[in-house]
A and B are shown apart, each in its own frame.
Chain A
Amino acid sequence: MITKNIQLDEQGRLKHFLSIEGFKRQHLISILDAAEPFANVQEQAVKKVPLLRGKTIVNLFFEASTRTRTTFELAAKRLSADVLNININTSATKKGESLLDMLHNLESMHCDMFVVRHNQSGAAHFIAQHVSPHISVINAGDGCHSHPSQAMLDMFTIRRHKKEFANLKVVIVGDILHSRVARSEMHALTTLGVSEIRVVGPKTLIPTGIDTFGVHVYHNLQEALVDADVVIMLRLQKERMQGALLPSEGEYYQHYGLTEKKLAYAKPDAIVMHPGPINRGVEIASSIADGPQSVILEQVTNGIAIRMAVMSQALGPRGSDSSRIGGNA
């Protein structure tokens, strides 16, 4: 049984960033705090800091992605690291080279960090368990399991708008079953002490035993939105229409799409979030996505700061305060 938390090294410093599970509150807060100065760097004319000069970071994407890959790339470049982007069609790896062989090849090129996205749950853990000890692994999304940097950038965005986590009511809407974002967010929100988390969707999209995450399950969006402070919409993959999970996009929008009428049940200052890419008119009305309560583009910007924070904590100079997460954890 593998129970050891491999995400921290023996000194309690960030080594791999694979899932929110396994981090304490102070760990998450320290990542959020570390991201604050980077968020400011971005607004300056010269956006680069020399923290990771001489380090090589490989973006290893086994699954298509634009936003996540680009923000990781930008984050690395703004930290002055060298970046290599490798997009791998998973079917091509199945034909010949094994995942491990490919990793070992990349290791021989003296890389320092792998940013990995893969369509299989557990892929990032697997890679972290098998790479050479000097390499850090950042999970940029593995199957339906985890997408921790997305969750952290969402927490960062929430904190910028809501200050305290404790009294918030957060609603997560849509395809919880297949969503690594939702899983990571639920862990992050509960770890940060959010008092009420509601997940909403038809039973076909709510996984068994989700209540063990410490969330309340709703099947009616209006009811779930009452008094909400934060509304997180999830992307609905088109392929969910096959396999009888949903009857049609139209019916889904009717009942689980966020419209102005439904949003009115939430608090007037509620913010609306979405990890993107948005399906307008499927999970969210354009008027809301582009409206005053939407912080969707801000999430993208914050994504760079959070990824800079995570990368510098994992690879930055040892002994500096920024590398130790959460003090003497």
Chain B
Amino acid sequence: MPDSHLLRLARQSEQLDISIINGRIIDPANQIDSHTDIHIQNGKILALGQAPDGFKAQKVIDVTDRVVCPGLVDMRVRLREPGFETKGTIASETRAAAAGGVTSLCCPPDTNPIIDNAAMVKLIRLKAATEGVAKVYTLSALTQQLKGEKLSEMRELKDAGCVGTTNALNPVKSTLIMRRALEYAASHNITVFIQPFEPWLSDGCAHEGVVSTRLGLAGIPESAETIAIARDLQLIELIGGRTHFCQLSSAGSIQLIRQAQKAGLPVTADVTSHHLHLTEMDIGFFDSNCHVLPPLRTQRDMEALRHGVQSDILSCIVSDHQPHDSDAKLAPFAETEPGISGIETLLPLALKLVDRQNMSLMEVISRLTIQPARILNIAEGTLSTGQDADICIFDPEAYWRVEKEKFLSKGKNTPFHGWELKGQVEYTIKTGEIVFSRK
């Protein structure tokens, strides 16, 4: 389906010409951090500073003491549609994204049916255009049906709009098939996103350590991640090709990525906002909201991950949003489904690094905007003039209590319920349309 056709079907957008005044504009892509105004016309960024002659705003938003930054780019979001609509839909989860300040998101191919053919890409894009309020990008399945056996038609999927390819949470067991998949993707300049799980060591539900031993839960050792990364790094050294490692959880993994980057391999990596603030201890007495993959690990790992973000080895922070229906978490720990509904807490959890790691707002915001956009190779995450007016406005000093019942996401599965967080989204604007406003 051509894009023009998509546009015609698109939900009637309520685009406005807007002036956002008196805010602190932070745009890491352009290294801007200044108190000034920004003007939006026809869904695009028109100008920063003085309004150009003749511009008349239909709406003026005064955002004194607020930060105005590019709409967030969340690299890993499960919308659950198609296939798992009891957990979430494109409509519900893109609204949750808007509430979290996210204007662009990327969903992995593990929907049902799986995104391993062009029709699925078109279906999701159409649904997102007609029912969603965020820009939805997709990754294609690396192998057919994510089985790790045959390559997907990843070039056709790229042409249909996929911005990369991945086998999601299903590790490719065969090193030979992984090698070929990396080679084929590199031939077509497709970035491969790898979730590093060594399949033989990953059959557990918690970090293998003190807590898993205490609770009698099957453990996943740190080496389940480092072995997988080490294998794939060796292949990348052989092949080249852009590769991104998803949601690292351990100190050892950061070491490996750091060495690879030093050696000049085209490798990047990310971390989830929950791995930056939770450890295995948070499982307490079997809190299924802390059942995530990769598992929450030790204090030492958590601190290494924070340092990894600071030193830019981990260049983006993702929510790894995985909304669940309540039944999915109502069972003995190992039988519950892993994942956190995280998109509405992404920004404040990331902002904690400002105080914790002494990072600047600019640095933290870059991990949530331009850096993921660059890895996905999409024209998002900046406030450059002429760009789509995708903007997040937040109060960096506002404290608020996380109440899961108030999530717009269908998934109320958060371990942060009751946490007092600092930094609250007030407006989210997508191509000139106010898609979220707290007031």
Contact = CB atoms under 8 A, between A and B. Distances in A.
Nearest to B287: A2
Interface string A107-133: 000000000001011110110001000
B378 interface: no
A98 interface: yes
Contacts of B385: none
Contacts of B221: 208
Interface residues of A, number: 29
Interface stretch (A34-42, A44-52, A139-147): A139-147
A126 B212 contact: no
A121 B327 contact: no
**Number of contact residues on B: which range applies?**
20 to 34
B332 A21 contact: no
A118 B286 CA distance: 15
A3 B285 contact: yes
A21 B216 contact: no
Contact of A183 (B214, B287, B290): B214
Nearest to B419: A1
B285 A121 contact: no
Interface in A194-212: 207-210, 212
Nearest to A178: B216
Interface string A276-298: 00000000000000000000000
Contacts of A99: 331-332
B216 A1 contact: no
A21 B208 CA distance: 19
User: Residue among B216, B286, B287, B331 with the most chain A CB within 10 A?
Assistant: B216
A288 to B, nearest CB: 28
A1 B332 CA distance: 15
Contact of A122 (B213, B330, B334, B415): B334
B284 interface: yes
A86 interface: no
A120 B334 contact: yes
Interface in B211-232: 212-217, 219, 221
A122 B285 CA distance: 8
User: Residue among A2, A6, A213 with the most chain B CB within 10 A?
Assistant: A2
A274 interface: no
Contacts of A144: 216-217
B285 A183 contact: no
Contacts of B334: 120-122, 143
B326 to A, nearest CB: 10
A141 B301 CA distance: 32
B208 A120 contact: no
B417 to A, nearest CB: 10
B335 interface: yes
Contacts of B285: 2-3, 6, 122, 125
A6 B285 CA distance: 10
Contact of A209 (B210, B286, B287, B290): B210
A89 to B, nearest CB: 16
B415 A145 contact: no
A100 B329 CA distance: 12
B153 interface: no
A180 interface: yes
Given A180-B216, A210-B213, A121 B287 contact: no
B330 A100 contact: yes
A121 B213 contact: no
Interface of A: 1-3, 6, 21, 98-100, 118, 120-123, 125-126, 130, 142-146, 180, 183, 207-210, 212-213
Lowest 5 A-B CB distances belong to which pairs?
Answer: A144-B216, A145-B216, A122-B286, A120-B332, A121-B216
Given A99-B331, A120-B331, A122-B286, 9 more contacts: A1-B284, A3-B284, A121-B286, A121-B332, A121-B333, A145-B217, A146-B216, A207-B213, A208-B213
23 contacts: A1-B283, A1-B287, A2-B284, A98-B327, A118-B332, A120-B331, A120-B333, A121-B286, A122-B332, A123-B332, A125-B285, A126-B333, A142-B216, A143-B332, A144-B217, A145-B216, A180-B216, A207-B212, A207-B213, A208-B210, A208-B213, A209-B213, A212-B213
Interface of B: 208-210, 212-217, 219, 221, 281-287, 290, 327, 330-335, 415
